[in-house]
Amino acid sequence: MHYNTGYHREAVPLVRRFVQMFRDAECICVPSASCVAMMREHYELIAKQKNDAALLADVHALLPRVFEFSELLTERLKAEDVGASFAHSVTYHPSCHSLRMLNIREGPLKLLRAVRGLELRDLPEKEQCCGFGGTFAVKNADVSAAMLEAKEACVINTGAEVATALDNSCLMQIYGGLHRAGSAVRTMHIAEILASTEGGT
């Protein structure tokens, strides 16, 4: 949030702290694509700008162990069926950072298709941004709301009961709009669906 809004100086200690906290972790699973994008796209740059060779070395050591949640399942663990059951219709919003920065495309869909009882519905104009954009949502609230309206209409058009994504921030935006509009569509992070054993055997 700090870095993307221009608070670059303030972001440096946060980067240092993250790297330090997870230094000894064998594998770092992050349930947010935009957080992973921040690490992969900017941590190295931040260390270089600070001329901090130690931090740079730490970042280089850390990054190969960082996985977005669905990536960990499909790329690292080669899993598709995680044994979940969820008897609802679901539509998947490929969040911008998962799609364009992490290049995550098929993985989450494979995971969702393997969930028992789940009916996956294709989201029209799915690659369009939901309008969240971090502080954009409040700095340019009117434009953000207009973009959200378009996304909401697409979600509602699918007739799905649940909208899911790899980013809770986008889901917070989509939920906020849907709920304000009186829609009954729920939003759930993909991990919540994959953890569900609802109606399963």
Partner 1 sequence: MSVRVGKTAAALAFPVAAKEALGNAQLRRNVHHATDVIRNKRALRVEEMPDWQQLRDTASEIKQHTLAHLDYYLEEFARNCERAGGKVHWARDADEANAIAVKIIHDFAGEAAQEVIKVKTMTSDEVQMNVALEAAGITPIETDLADMIVQMGHDEPSHIVVPALHKNRVEIRDIFRVEMNLPELTEQPEELTAAARRYLRERFLRTKIGISGANFLIADTGAVCVVESEGNGRMCVTLPEMLITLVGIEKVIPKSQDLEVFLQLLPRSATGERMNPYNSLWAGVTAGDGPREFHVILLDNGRTRLLEDELERETLQCIRCGACLNACPVYRETGGLAYGSIYSGPIGAILSPQLQSLEHSRSLPYASTLCGACYEVCPVKINIPEVLIHLRGRLVREDQKTMGGKLGMENLAMQAVAMSFMSARRYEAAQRLARMGQKLFEHDGELRNLPGLAGGWTKFRDLKAIPKQSFREWWRSEGRS
**Residue whose CB is less far from partner 1, 118 or 164:** 164
1, burial (CB in 10 Å: exposed 0-12, middle 13-18, buried 19+): middle
Size of the site for partner 1 (CB under 8 A): 48
Residue 92 in the binding site for partner 1 (CB under 8 A): no
Q: x-or-dash pattern for partner 1, window 24-63, by CB under 8 A? A: -----------------x----------------------
**At 160, which amino acid appears?**
A
Tokens of 117: 């009882």
C-alpha separations of 108 from 18, 95, 124, 188 in Å = 26, 11, 17, 13
Q: Minimal distance in Å, beta carbon 11 to partner 1?
A: 8
Residue ranges in the chain assigned as alpha helix (H): 2-5, 8-21, 33-38, 44-49, 53-62, 69-71, 96, 107-113, 136-139, 141-158, 168-180, 190-194
Asked if 141 interacts with partner 1 (CB under 8 A), we say yes
Q: Decide: is 133 part of the binding site for partner 1 (CB under 8 A).
A: yes
Nearer to partner 1, 86 or 132 (CB): 132
Candidates 39, 84, 96, 160; binder of partner 1 (CB under 8 A) is: 96
Instruction: With beta carbons less than 8 A apart as the criterion, state whether 155 and 185 touch.
Output: yes
Q: What residues make contact with partner 1 under the rule CB under 8 A?
A: 1-11, 13-14, 17, 41, 96-97, 100-101, 127-129, 131-148, 150, 172-173, 175-177, 179-180
